[in-house]
Chain A
Amino acid sequence: MGIVNALNLPKDVVLGMPVITVTGNCEAHIENFKSIMEYNSDCVKLMTKKGPVKIIGNRLVIDYFNSEEIHITGFIKCIEL
């Protein structure tokens, strides 16, 4: 971690840390996730290298997902890390 900081390297590439991009309260894009732990219309819980990430909201839809990223749309209320 110290070396990464010292060399100013991107942590998502070197350490595989999740990158969460949220657009307003209707879209969330998560990169570097490992698996889906829980999914229903009110909650999406994902496992990442740094632990679980929980997205709580209403009418949550998984727009698409692949081995590296997942795109969630709906009414997002809160994101727990």
Chain B
Amino acid sequence: MTKLFRYFKGYLFVIIDSNAPERFLNLCKSKDIETWNLQNIDEEYAFYISAKDFKKLKEILKKTQMKLIIKKRFGLPFFMFKYRKHYSFVVGIFLSAIMLYGMSLFVWDINIEGNLMYTDNMLLTYLNKNNIEPGILVKEINCNDLESEIRSEFTDITWVSAEISGTRLIIHVKENDGDVIKKSSNEISDIVSTRNGVVTKIITRSGVPKVKVGDAVTEGMVLVSGTVALYNDAKEPIKSNYVCSDADIYVNTQYDYKDELLLKHEYKIYTGRTITKKICNVWGKQIELGISFKNFKEYDVITEDSVVHLTDNFCLPVRTGEKVYEEYYMAEGQYSDEQARKILNDNYDVYLKKMKEKGIQLIASSAKIEVTNDKYVMSGQVTVSEAMTQHVTIIPTIEPEKDAGTQ
């Protein structure tokens, strides 16, 4: 740090030609003149002194009748003085300052944190659709609006916080832990069945239930109607009120499961030959650096890049990284009985796990593997208890109000 301060203030490397520098040094000490790296070379004494203190030396040199030779000048003041007539240099500094300021007005990096269910790509694609992408003006982003838009678009995101830090937009999200999401809007709607099955539980909070426990329902059937009819004393409908249906309905339903696996399959064998190229991404345009004489027929590309930043949050519209081409060729193989069964069972486990993650309760599941000549087929049925949450918006029809007294 001291070196940096010295550089900004400027300093000199000087030589005094004297056999007895002691008086000179003591005078420097008494006048609080800072010198450093004082060394005796042959008959001369060399040392460093700050540009500011150098001016104070005049009086001392006069007193001691010594001669002083400036050997070298260091630091910013001398550098600026040297290039004072290089106008392009001054213009360059001025332009770079303007460029830095200009770039600080834009968002150059979008960072999403806390997402597990929704990938970065999904959220970034959504932001892109809303014209929020690297290169947007900072003042065009309204964090409050953005937060509410994300919450309404992604129902499984329960909490969003968007902040702009430097040239970086940071979005923190918290996802739902798997509970069934209830419809939050107040649109007039029916609740319809999304599956065929049998109703096992129904608790209606708003709307008219059209089914009861034990009823068989089909896909698309209205379970709770948002149209509430008002009757007169003669039990004739006189008016319809429209509400947003709200109910907990569980239906026992069955899912058919089928998975096929061909015993003959193709797989990649990596040759181990790779090409690594440096890449530079400027304003969305990718430039590959370096020339390669290798030519791969089939290859995978693995790209890793990171945004260039001046400080932690001052990002620039430049991304640098590496692109690795990995050569492979396709080979044909055949699964053994054990391998095929394991793959099918694993797929089945993943299928059941995904169902559980969606909040669907498993009641029973059965599946069997059939072996044919060239393939293994796993099929079965999964019985589940599933919540019906599909709302269908209804358009109220305007009816002429009937007289309540008419018989």
Contacts and interface: CB of A to CB of B under 8 A. Distances in A.
B38 A61 contact: yes
Given A36-B29, A67-B29, A67-B30, A62 B22 contact: no
Contacts of B21: 39
Interface in A28-52: 35-41
Given A64-B34, A66-B34, A36 B25 contact: yes
A25 to B, nearest CB: 18
A36 B26 contact: yes
Interface in B14-73: 21-22, 25-26, 29-30, 32, 34-41, 45, 47
Contacts of B47: 62
A40 B40 contact: yes
Contacts of A35: 22, 26, 29
Chain A, interface size: which category? 10 to 19
Nearest to A74: B39
A12 interface: no
A64 B35 contact: yes
B36 A36 contact: no
A65 B22 contact: no
Given A61-B37, A61-B39, A62-B38, A39 B22 contact: yes
A67 B32 contact: yes
Interface residues of B, number: 17
Nearest to B48: A64
A36 B23 CA distance: 8
A39 B40 contact: yes
Chain A interface, DSSP helix/strand/loop, else mixed? strand
Contacts of A62: 25, 37-39, 47
A11 B171 CA distance: 62
A67 B25 CA distance: 11
B234 to A, nearest CB: 109
A19 to B, nearest CB: 17
A24 B363 CA distance: 80
A6 B358 CA distance: 83
Interface in B275-329: none
B21 to A, nearest CB: 6
B42 to A, nearest CB: 9
A61 B45 CA distance: 10
Given A62-B38, A64-B35, A38 B29 contact: no
Nearest to A68: B29
Contacts of B35: 64-65
Contacts of B45: 39
A38 B36 contact: no
Contacts of A39: 21-22, 25, 38, 40, 45
Contacts of B26: 35-36
Contact of A65 (B29, B39, B40, B41): B29
B39 A41 contact: yes
Contact of B36 (A37, A60, A64): A64
A80 B197 CA distance: 104
B190 to A, nearest CB: 86
Nearest to A61: B39
12 contacts: A36-B25, A36-B26, A39-B22, A39-B25, A39-B45, A41-B39, A41-B40, A60-B40, A61-B37, A64-B36, A65-B35, A65-B38
Given A36-B26, A60-B40, 17 more contacts: A35-B26, A36-B22, A36-B25, A36-B29, A37-B22, A39-B21, A39-B45, A61-B37, A62-B25, A62-B37, A62-B38, A62-B39, A64-B35, A64-B36, A64-B37, A65-B25, A66-B34
Interface of B: 21-22, 25-26, 29-30, 32, 34-41, 45, 47
